[in-house]
Amino acid sequence: MSRDSTTRVLSVAFLLCLVCSILVSAAAVGLSDRQARNKVEEKRKNILQAAGLYRADRSIAEQYAQIEPRIVDLKTAWFSTDIDAATFDSRAAARDPQMSHQIQGNLDVAGIKNRSRYQDIYLVRDGESLKQIILPVYGKGLWSTMYGFISLASDLSTVNGFAFYEHGETPGLGGEIDNPNWKKQWQGKKIYDESGSMRIEVLKGVVDKKSPDAIYQADGLAGATLTARGVGNLLHYWMGEDGYRPFLEKLKEQGVKL
């Protein structure tokens, strides 16, 4: 066979493809455990960040020890022990007809169509009392579904932290939801007023700090009103009657004891 024969060229190309595909497959299989571990670690870091507990100089495992993952059944509005919180995947559950809850059109302000009946939530305790509760929330922005965590203080209305860990909004526009200054403004905001009405809103402009309503308002995002509106909408869904509200009310009735 001559060096430049078609058969030889094709054989070399085939062997090269085979070797490369074996290498890529081996890397994918070999690294899958590490990828899964990194994903878990990243989620834990986001939970700690939402709770304002994350310190870069300490290991995530050590810090996460103060977090207690639990499952809440939004149908019974109470904790469930039927599912293991450590391995639960609420996105997969939202796609599972046995576990998903279809959101009625007029209630679907977050634009997500359905959600899991069960949600993994995260507690920070002070003995038998609740110090913080961290709740996963998500909803449509302009281009993407935005996934985040919101942490509430023990009054179950005051925000300790709110951050998104996954979205596809435009960097510099909707992507400013990741801006540390924008995130910081959420600390101390209240979701509900004294009478229990949902009051939280994201404005189109900047909050007037002198306004008595400022405690329920967050600044919008210049040039990204649609993303900012999505943030307000998803909070209204998840903090509302079809979301966590019945559970939060029950928790309050029980004196926020765990």
Closer residue to ligand FMN (CB): 79 or 143:
143
Rounded Cα distance between 195 and 214, Å, is: 17
Instruction: Name the closest residue to ligand FMN (Cβ).
Output: 174
Among 225, 246, 249, 252, the residue binding ligand FMN under the rule CB under 6 A is 225
Shortest reach from residue 141's CB to ligand FMN, in Å: 6
Shortest reach from residue 252's CB to ligand FMN, in Å: 34
Neighbours of 31 (CB within 10 A): 11
Among 224, 231, 248, 251, the residue binding ligand FMN under the rule CB under 6 A is 224
User: Does 206 sit near ligand FMN (CB under 6 A)?
Assistant: no
Closer residue to ligand FMN (CB): 63 or 170:
170
Shortest reach from residue 220's CB to ligand FMN, in Å: 7
Which 52-91 residues touch ligand FMN, going by CB under 6 A?
none
Assess contact for 78 and 250: CB atoms under 8 A: yes
Q: Kindly state the DSSP code that residue 156 receives in the 8-state scheme.
A: S
User: Does 161 sit near ligand FMN (CB under 6 A)?
Assistant: no
User: Does 227 sit near ligand FMN (CB under 6 A)?
Assistant: yes
Question: CB under 8 Å to 176, separation ≥6 — which residues?
Answer: 182, 221, 224, 227
Shortest reach from residue 109's CB to ligand FMN, in Å: 16
Stretch that binds ligand FMN, among 36-44, 93-101, 117-125, 223-231 (CB under 6 A): 223-231
DSSP conformation letters of 71-102: EEETTTTEEE-SS-TTT--HHHHHH-TTTEEE
Helix spans in the chain (H): 6-50, 60-64, 90-95, 180-184, 225-238, 245-253
Shortest reach from residue 188's CB to ligand FMN, in Å: 25
Which 104-143 residues touch ligand FMN, going by CB under 6 A?
142-143
3-state DSSP assignment of residue 20:
helix
Rounded Cα distance between 70 and 95, Å, is: 21
Rounded Cα distance between 98 and 23, Å, is: 39
Among 40, 77, 153, 173, the residue binding ligand FMN under the rule CB under 6 A is 173
Assess contact for 235 and 198: CB atoms under 8 A: no
User: Does 203 sit near ligand FMN (CB under 6 A)?
Assistant: no
Residues lying near ligand FMN in the complex (CB under 6 A): 142-143, 169-170, 173-174, 222-227
